[in-house]
Amino acid sequence: MDKWIKIIIKSYSSPETLERLPRINNKMNLFCVHGFSTSLVYFSKKTENMYNKNYLFVFFIVILLTITSTSLYLSNNNSNINLINGIDKIRSEQVSLKHTVNVLTKHIKDIKDTNTQINIGSTTTLSDSFVQVMKDKLYNQEYTEEQSAEVGSLLLNSVLFQDGQCDSYKVLGGGSDNGVPGEGSWKICQDSDKWHVNRSNQCQVFSFGIANDFTFDDELTKLGCKVESFDPSMSMESQKRSDLNNFWKIGIADKDTNDFEGKEYGGSRKQVWEVYTLETLMKRFKVEYLDFLKMDIEGNEWPILKQWIESGILKKIKMLTFEVHFWSSTHDIHTHLEWAKIIIALREQGFKLFGTRENPMSTDEDLGFLKKSSCCYDLYWYNSNI
């Protein structure tokens, strides 16, 4: 069996993938979305003398396998939904699934039609191929509001396609729900080539967005890291919490200003914050490289990520984790495209995604064809260029 098909089955039929996607009524759609990202690469790399119908046959077999895996997993995971109920649920979603498959089939056809323009070489990695395919879809085509389904699938693919590898990781901070890490917990990769790039100096960490929960930051200090914690929304004043941790009542932004409009943590009262760019903060704290940066700032991440990409500051960060927010009240199809471009640009700068998680506090949002998609995902990256 071709190695690309093996990648599809291995990546998108695994229990880890299923655990990230607990909403059964949406699971079939999301598996199609995950399968799409690798399938695009597979189809674009195959030669012209192969039969199109064989491509589609394998693609739909993969979808069938993931559907079966979903039902079996749910029935064997102490779930109240047994296999029969799972199948009934899948049938009830057949209209939505059919629409999703139609969208993905069109993507595949589009990629084959533009195959000669993409010029994916035989030695190109899966990660590079994915970026090239996504850039073609994002920059070389125009979309209308009627194509929100296609744009929604592109956005999800940009943030969920995992091309990194971490053999040894640890979850720090937060609580747990029946053994599952809860809100406030974050994953770090402890592989020797990814952790602690400042090997002759002290591990340096910036943590943005505390929400009165210092458990993650405190556990990092136990690993010997110097952690600077930032959150302007909390009532707590700037202070030294320990020898390895300081709290600062200031925030991160795409520009330096002392009149940024925000809201108090846990409430709706408006506040005026003091915020700075990452470059300014690194200079202020005399930090040349960051071993780890965490950011959870409730939807304000998008302009900041864009500024990081444009400024070149990302070359000084080894490991990066942040939560993305897809709140429907704040965006449209054009915003979806902009967000997808930001994530693809992050990948172009050498960042590999080694883990994703549907945030435990996620609400349901409309992403065009996924009517109840999760609003929020935690993404775990490392910089392959450091």
Could you list the pLDDT tens digit for every one of the 386 residues in the chain?
344 444 443 343 333 333 333 333 344 444 444 444 444 444 444 433 444 445 555 555 555 555 555 544 444 544 454 555 555 555 555 555 555 555 555 555 554 554 444 454 555 677 888 898 899 999 988 988 888 878 888 888 898 889 999 999 899 998 766 666 777 889 999 998 887 655 557 899 999 999 999 999 999 999 999 999 999 999 999 999 999 999 999 999 999 999 988 887 767 788 899 999 999 999 999 999 999 999 999 888 999 999 999 999 999 999 999 999 887 655 688 888 999 999 999 999 999 999 998 877 766 666 665 455 677 889 999 999 98
Same domain, 207 and 307: yes
**Which of the 8 DSSP states describes residue 315?**
G
Residue with token string 């136990």: 222
> Domain range for residue 174?
169-383
Q: Do 189 and 68 form a contact (C-beta atoms < 8 A)?
A: no
How many beta carbons lie within 10 A of that of residue 121, not counting itself? 10
How far is 96 from 370, CA to CA, in rounded Å? 8
Judged by DSSP in three states, 24 sits in helix
Domain shared by 370 and 231, yes or no:
yes
Instruction: Assess contact for 81 and 75: CB atoms under 8 A.
Output: yes
Last residue of a domain, one of 117, 135, 156: 117
Residues 185 and 277 in one domain: yes
Check residue 268 and give its pLDDT.
74
Tokens at residue 286, please? 């005399």
> 177 and 61 share a domain?
no
The pLDDT value recorded for residue 127 is 83
Say if residue 217 is in the same domain as residue 340.
Answer: yes
What local confidence, expressed as pLDDT, does residue 209 receive?
Answer: 96
Q: Given this model, what pLDDT does residue 202 score?
A: 81
User: Does residue 357 form part of some domain?
Assistant: yes
Based on the fold, state whether residues 286 and 209 are members of the same structural domain: yes
Q: Which of 337, 342, 363, 372 is nearest to 152 (CA)?
A: 337
Phi and psi at 71, nearest 5°, equal -60, -45
Is residue 111 within a helix (H) or strand (E), and if so which, with residue range?
A: helix 94-113
Residues contacting 308, CB < 8 A, separation 6+ = 278, 314
pLDDT, residue 33, reads: 47
Contact (Cβ atoms closer than 8 angstroms) between residue 18 and residue 69: yes
Establish if 11 belongs to a structural domain. yes
Cβ neighbours for 189, distance < 8 A, ≥ 6 positions apart: 166, 168, 169, 195, 319, 354, 380, 382
140 assigned to some structural domain? no
The amino acid present at 292, given as its one-letter code, is F
Give the rounded distance of the alpha carbon of 70 from its chain centre: 21
Q: Which CATH number goes with the domain that contains 226?
A: 3.40.50
CB count, 10 Å around CB of 240? 9
Q: What does each C-alpha distance from 238 to 244, 275, 282, 290 come to in angstroms?
A: 14, 14, 17, 21
Query: 80 and 179: one domain?
Result: no
The answer to whether position 29 is within a domain reads yes
pLDDT for the residue 265: 73
Given a contact cutoff of 8 angstroms between Cβ atoms, the answer to whether 339 and 151 are in contact is: no
**pLDDT score for 86:** 53
Residue 361 sits in the same domain as residue 245: yes
Domain count, the chain: 2
Do 210 and 66 share a structural domain? no
d(CA 320, CA 294): 6
- The answer as to whether 122 is a domain residue is no
The C-alpha angle 359, 363, 368, rounded to 5 degrees, equals 105
159: which residues sit within 8 A by CB, 6+ positions away? 324, 343, 353, 356, 377, 379
51 and 183 assigned to the same domain: no
**Nearest CA among 211, 146, 163 for reference residue 185:** 211
Q: Are the C-beta atoms of residues 38 and 129 closer than 8 Å to each other?
A: no
Domain contains 126: no
The burial class, CB within 10 Å (0-12 / 13-18 / 19+), for 96 is: middle
Question: Is 70 in the same domain as 209?
Answer: no
Do 234 and 323 lie in one domain? The reply is yes
Is residue 328 domain-resident?
A: yes
Residue 149 lies in a domain: no
Nearest to 96 by CA among 366, 376, 357: 366
